[in-house]
Amino acid sequence: MPLMNTKAMFDQAYKHGYAIGAFNVNNMEIIQGIVEAATEEKAPLILQVSKGARNYANPVYLQKMVEAAEKVSGLPIALHLDHGDSFELCKSCIDGGFTSVMIDGSALSYEDNVALTKKVVEYAHDTTNHPYITVEGELGTLAGIEDEVSHAVGSYTRPEEVIDFVTKTGVDSLAIAIGTSHGAYKFKPEQCTRDENGVLVPPPLRFDILEAVSEKLPGFPIVLHGSSSVPQEFVQIINANGGKMPDAVGIPEAQLRKAATMSVCKINIDSDLRLGCTAGIRKHFAEHPEHFDPRQYLGDARANIKKVVKHKLTEVLGCAGKADEIIAKYNEMNK
């Protein structure tokens, strides 16, 4: 089946209390690791490309690899632009064959965010020259750094704004800020407590905000960015093999699972893939300093990515085994 937008995915996810994993991709091994895991678990996927990934790998390469992933796996897959920062970038992705885009106007004034988001939605939903493309907007800002997205200080989403924003813009989903953060250093040590092993424990997510947003937008799909959990297994491997990542900490997976049972239909994961990849490569070179064939060390990186994704699909997102129901819903919507 062709790459799809996120309508059928979010319809089923909301009804049945799970979330779709939105995994950032930058190269072939990352795509392969994600798709191999999802194929074994029969799970839907959103493969998302950031502006930085487009600059690194060329959007044509990335798009063709994602199309190949769909052909090989037969899974329901959406190709999504992550953190589009301009109408021109979103338009380029839509015209190039992406099936979903995010326009991130969260750094703008509320009025300018509405205006920019509405402009993207009007183009994306106009089916004169392309299929219906789903659009994700954002209210509130996440702290942290990831690719070209950087905010020193985050700001929580204001529930009183969401009805007005969704009504005026026509977005298909909404990313909100409830305490997640970009990157592998999501919280400063002073924001956390420490457990009996000295590991940082981050502050809890603001479920009160999520609940308030859900009450105002019943049935509407919500998105969480900055939702990597920063597996300490990989942090320790990295630090034991020449890395330096003190106090790297992420979002507890139990909180993400709770969010997925509520109105959160899309959970973004990037840093955990990077950590798995880096841990595999660092450990490989420590154990095999004579190796120089990229297939050897990138194979270990790919295996770690697959491990991360299988765990997320089954234990965190709850979308393992949901591919067939989403394909059926997609076919029903597109009769």
Nearest to 81 by CA among 138, 28, 35, 127: 138
Strands 20-24 and 149-151 turn out to be unpaired
Say if CB 247 and CB 198 are below 8 A apart: no
Cα distances (angstroms) measured from residue 164 to each of 137, 220, 287: 13, 14, 56
Q: How far apart are CA 247 and CA 19, in angstroms?
A: 28
Closest CA relative to residue 266, chosen from 274, 252, 256: 256
d(CA 99, CA 82): 12
Instruction: State both tokens at 331.
Output: 């076919």
Nearest Cα neighbor of 183 from 152, 146, 154 is 146
DSSP class of 27: S
Q: Which of 82, 85, 147, 272 is catalytic?
A: 82
One DSSP character per residue, 38-74 reads HHHHT--EEEEEEHHHHHHH-HHHHHHHHHHHHHHH-
Distance CA 95, CA 79 (A): 13
293 labelled catalytic: no
Catalytic residues: 82
